[in-house]
Structure 1
Amino acid sequence: MKIGNRTGVRRGVEVHDFDPATATVDDLATLRRHIYHDKIVVFKEQTLDVRGFVAFGSEFGKPVAYYEPMYRHPDSDFVFVSSNIDRASSRVGVPKTGAFWHSDYQFMPEPFAVTCFYPQQLPTVGRGTYFIDMAKAYQRLAPDLRAAIENTHSLHSSRRYVKIRPSDVFRPLGEVIAEVERKTPPQRWPTVLVHPVTGERVLYVCEAFTYAIQDAAGGALPDSLLTDLLAASGQLDQSFEHDNIFVQSYEPGDLVLWDNRTLIHRALHNPGNEATESFRVTVLDEHPLTSKEAA
């Protein structure tokens, strides 16, 4: 196994000659440290089947099946599939997922610790992922914004971006919305997490799921505060040229792991709608979402 800094990009390391079957305990411990401290780890030239991919993800935490079955691979509930490929038998996965700023499962009681992303079919151009490091975003906040969110909590919900399922056709919209609220009730997290491994303070808001901020007593704070945080972090920049934004592109055989506590991401979909498919395994680690300092 060879680990090196990536050239021409702002974050992460590359891993060459990694074989999951022969990786040692020390190898895996080293890789976990890189995930938490370097945020992105790109494994090159991987050739794993579905079972092998799940086993790979299991080395970094406990895999969790996505709560909506229509996203799952037919051979494993633990593999989330984003795909626009039409198959003769039936559709596998859901097309054009994640085209909004978010952290995986931020709207659920146990947000994921690490995301494992494995492209299966890539278009010729325009397939990648935008990222923002929210620890760096917090560091760059103006002093008045930092002060305004001290000891506050934010509310998160999936309600804005839940995809309509085939079974929802002809159902009243209000009934669908009520079901969403029952299945994924809003979650309340500190607006600033303290990373349980690195100790970094992480701004924990996103454009897709965060909808309100409350003070220490649970009182509502102005909507403009959330807007200011999203703008300062780069999430409202539709040109994607904000200094906080960086892009991860993919080559065949790439398998990418990232720290889901610290990084938010947004899919970059190919404009020509070429065939594309990716697999994802998301895991929980042994650490809490945030250290007790931020509770």
Structure 2
Amino acid sequence: MDILLLHPGFGVEIAGIDLTGPVSAPQWRAILDAFHTKGVVVFRAQALDEAAHVAVSRRFGDLQTHVLTQFLTTPHPEIYVLSNALREGKPIGNHKEGLNWHSDWSYKAEPAVGSILHGRVCPAEGADTLFACMHMAYETLDEATRTRIDGLFATHSYATYYDRAFADRAPLTEAQRAATPDVIHPLVRLHPGNGRRALYIGREVVKEIIGLDPEEGAALLDRLNAHAVQAAHVYRHKWQEGDLVAWDNRNTMHQATDYDDSTYIRIMHRTTLAGERPVPATPMVRAA
């Protein structure tokens, strides 16, 4: 088993291992260490069936079922399908999701620890996934900005995200809005697996910074988001069929890229690691 760096600051490919066969305890310890410290772990050419995908995912941690149950279209409810394919005239998966920078389910009180995505049918062009290292994003900020944001908290809002990202869809019902109340998370979180600080933001999902004037807070969020996703912090994953990619939401953000869905079919299977409450790097302070 070889561990190959994909980006100068984060992301690795685990080569020379077949996840359909036995993987030793020392090998899994090395994989989990890479997951915690490097944020993105790539396995190429993995011929996993759905049951094997779920079994491998469980070795990363407990799983949870996606709330969009209409896209749980395999025999395994742990698998959330992303696809533009149809079955009997109905979509088998969610399509055009994640075309904005985010970490999964940050709008929940206990956001998903990570996700594990398997490329089943991948377009020949487009449909890449971009990953940004949020450790690097925080650590490359100037000292004055780090001092300013340590101890600040922000509101993450599913309703705000939905209204911004899916303006072309039917609006959320009052019941759906009530079921996804706003939550408050630190702007800077501490990763419990490696002890490093990471920015915790998102392009559409963060509604406001607690205690800041709305205009001032929006300007700060714009600056932090732009800084976080500059090229030096980003790894672009070009999918090949059979790729299995695991990412840690506690130290990365990601964004899907578009593709020609009139020419290509795309089928991706995702499992989601159960959530945990973000650990503030610094206790909440009064914004100034």
With the shorter chain as reference, the TM-score category is 0.7 to 0.9
Aligned to 1:154: 154
TM-score, normalised relative to structure 2? 0.86
CA contact 2:63–2:274 (8 Å) conserved in 1: yes
5 Å matches for 1:47-196? Answer: 47-88=47-88, 90-162=90-162, 173=171, 176-196=172-192
CA contact 2:10–2:133 (8 Å) conserved in 1: no
Distance between the aligned counterparts of 2:71 and 2:200, measured in 1? 25
Distance between the aligned counterparts of 2:53 and 2:12, measured in 1? 20
Residue deviations 1:53-86, cap 9 Å, x none? 1111111011110112123233122111110012
Residue deviations 1:96-123, cap 9 Å, x none? 1110111001011211112101111111
SS at match of 1:261: coil
Distance between the aligned counterparts of 1:79 and 1:45, measured in 2? 19
Of 276, 280, 289, the match for 2:266: 276
CA contact 2:116–2:270 (8 Å) conserved in 1: yes
CA contact 1:71–1:92 (8 Å) conserved in 2: yes
5 Å matches for 1:2-81? Answer: 2-6=1-5, 11-15=10-14, 16-81=16-81
SS at match of 2:209: strand
TM-score, normalised relative to structure 1? 0.85
Distance between the aligned counterparts of 1:291 and 1:98, measured in 2? 25
Distance between the aligned counterparts of 1:188 and 1:37, measured in 2? 25
Distance between the aligned counterparts of 1:23 and 1:294, measured in 2? 40
Distance between the aligned counterparts of 2:7 and 2:150, measured in 1? 35
Amino acid at match of 2:279: T
SS at match of 1:193: strand
CA contact 2:157–2:206 (8 Å) conserved in 1: yes
Query: CA shift at 1:242, angstroms?
Result: 3.8
Amino acid at match of 1:210: V
Q: Bigger CA drift: 43-52 or 94-103?
A: 43-52
Aligned to 1:228: 220
4+ residue runs over 4 A deviation: 7-10, 291-295
Distance between the aligned counterparts of 2:230 and 2:138, measured in 1? 18
Amino acid at match of 1:277: I
SS at match of 2:217: helix
Residue deviations 1:155-212, cap 9 Å, x none? 1011244387xxx96xxx4xx3423321111111111101111111111111121111
Residue deviations 1:141-163, cap 9 Å, x none? 23332222221111101124438
SS at match of 1:282: strand
Would the alpha carbon gap of residues 294 and 259 (structure 1) be closer, same or farther in structure 2, given more than 3 Å must change? farther
Would the alpha carbon gap of residues 7 and 29 (structure 1) be closer, same or farther in structure 2, given more than 3 Å must change? closer
Residue deviations 1:225-279, cap 9 Å, x none? 343344344379xxx7643333111112110011111110110121454211111
CA contact 1:73–1:93 (8 Å) conserved in 2: yes
CA contact 1:99–1:268 (8 Å) conserved in 2: yes
1:207 partnered with 2:203: yes
Structure 2 unmatched ranges of 5 or more: none
Amino acid at match of 1:200: R
Sequence identity (%):
23
Of 261, 273, 287, the match for 2:250: 261
Query: CA shift at 1:7, angstroms?
Result: 5.5
Aligned to 2:238: 249
Would the alpha carbon gap of residues 25 and 77 (structure 1) be closer, same or farther in structure 2, given more than 3 Å must change? same
CA contact 2:107–2:156 (8 Å) conserved in 1: yes
